A = this chain, B = another copy of it.
Amino acid sequence: MDFDYSPKVKEWQESLNAFMEEHIYPNESVYEKQLNQQDRFSDIPPIMEELKSKAKEAGLWNLFLPDSEYGAGLSNLEYAPLCEIMGRSSLAPEVFNCAAPDTGNMEVLVRYGSDEQKRQWLEPLLEGEIRSCFSMTEPDVASSDATNVQTEIKRDGDEYVINGTKWWSSGAGDPRCKVSIVMGKNDPDAPRYDQQSMILVPLDTEGVTIKRTLPVFGYDHAPHGHAEIEFKNVRVPASHLIWGEGKGFAIAQGRLGPGRIHHCMRTIGAAERALEVMCDRVQEREAFGKTLADQGVIREWIADSRIEIEQARLLTLKAAHMMDTVGNKEAKSEIAMIKVVAPNMALKVIDRAIQAFGAAGVSQDTPLAAAWANIRTLRLADGPDEVHRRAVAKYELKKAENRRAVHAR
């Protein structure tokens, strides 16, 4: 047991932190300003592509990809602390080509894509030339139970025909977003977990209509955007199917583990930053004749925040370590735990920081309100807290049964 980061990881952290200081933090307001000077959804603030070039040049590119042919070849445990650093700024993940949902989509293509699919979609994604989205959630059914997915993917000769409505296809608002991985039912009569498939659908295919984008609290998240997409008799070549018919669930499972680690680590990064700005604020601001930092309740918030962040990080790193050593399946309960822990922790930390800032905290003058809203969705995305708690409990109860069975012997 060893709680130190490896020398290799420490080097990566240093490079990344230096880049953040020099290029990311100072350009957050630049990005925001450029975004507001144009139609928020049609154009990409030019600073983004400039920063991407710099990151690529600095070798801080595709770090998320454990595959060493295409990516940095880091293990989950090695990538986690880097991902945390990226989570400190809403700009950073895209700059380093490590942003969801592209990372998940790229990993799907690396693992399950055909050569043709890799050439057509993986390569430009790895280059940061295009972006992608993932269409799973549907407005009419409880997505917490993925067997509910209703969209149809039907074989018709050399093509598949897709019909259904998806929403929360995040990233589809971006003009650079060229393709979606769509989950849908190809065989309602197959066993429960073999009914669904995943298929690549270029967004300019006839029958694909973005009906609207959904705000998160009041944020439109432009140009990214969370889209409601109608698929109406959409036809794509049969070769667009990923892996094979009925493999939807298997792909989803493979996609989820690393994705959760990433989300959690980014969330921890956001919490760290909130704690930092809170500490700065309370040492500078005075009320009733002393700094806020000298008021006991504020110190309690700071201490509780530190305590909660530390614990969440350790559990997330342990989950990453388990994925690397015993595999995603054995790490299932730990992955479910961090999915509950990290966002709830960060929401508390950020809420305290907002409270310490007063009205400025709910506005655009701090990164806090935007981070809060963004992370609030993570208590719902990929299954609500309640579903993950249930999974953890199920595992504990199973352990208890086994324990009693052993004792009974």
Q: Within 8 Å of chain B (Cβ to Cβ): is A156?
A: no
Contact with B along A293-315 (1 / 0, CB 8 A): 10111111011101100111011
Q: Tell me the bound Cα distance from A304 to B315 in angstroms.
A: 14
Chain A residues touching B, majority SS: helix
Q: Within 8 Å of chain B (Cβ to Cβ): is A370?
A: yes
Q: Within 8 Å of chain B (Cβ to Cβ): is A251?
A: no
Asked if residues B373 and A358 are in contact (CB atoms below 8 Å), the reply is: no
Q: Within 8 Å of chain B (Cβ to Cβ): is A361?
A: yes
Q: Within 8 Å of chain B (Cβ to Cβ): is A2?
A: yes
Stretch at the interface among A62-70, A93-101, A140-148, A173-181: A140-148
Asked if residues A303 and B396 are in contact (CB atoms below 8 Å), the reply is: yes
Contact with B along A369-397 (1 / 0, CB 8 A): 11011001101110011101111111011
Asked if residues A293 and B142 are in contact (CB atoms below 8 Å), the reply is: no
Q: Of B215, B280, B295, B390, which is within 8 A of A218 by CB?
A: B215
Interface residues, chain A, with chain B CB atoms under 8 Å away: 1-6, 9, 77, 137, 139, 142-145, 148, 167-168, 214-220, 226, 275-276, 279-280, 282-283, 285-288, 292-293, 295-300, 302-304, 306-307, 310-312, 314-315, 317-318, 321-322, 325, 333-334, 337, 340-341, 354-355, 358-365, 369-370, 372-373, 376-377, 379-381, 384-386, 388-394, 396-397, 399-401, 403-404
Known pairs A145-B288, A215-B364; list 7 more (Cβ under 8 Å): A1-B321, A143-B358, A214-B364, A217-B370, A302-B393, A304-B389, A307-B392
Question: Can you list 28 pairs linking A and B with CB atoms under 8 Å apart?
Answer: A1-B3, A1-B4, A1-B6, A1-B317, A2-B321, A137-B359, A144-B288, A148-B287, A214-B359, A214-B363, A214-B365, A217-B217, A217-B218, A217-B369, A217-B373, A276-B400, A283-B397, A283-B400, A296-B390, A297-B297, A297-B300, A298-B393, A299-B389, A300-B389, A302-B393, A355-B385, A362-B373, A362-B377
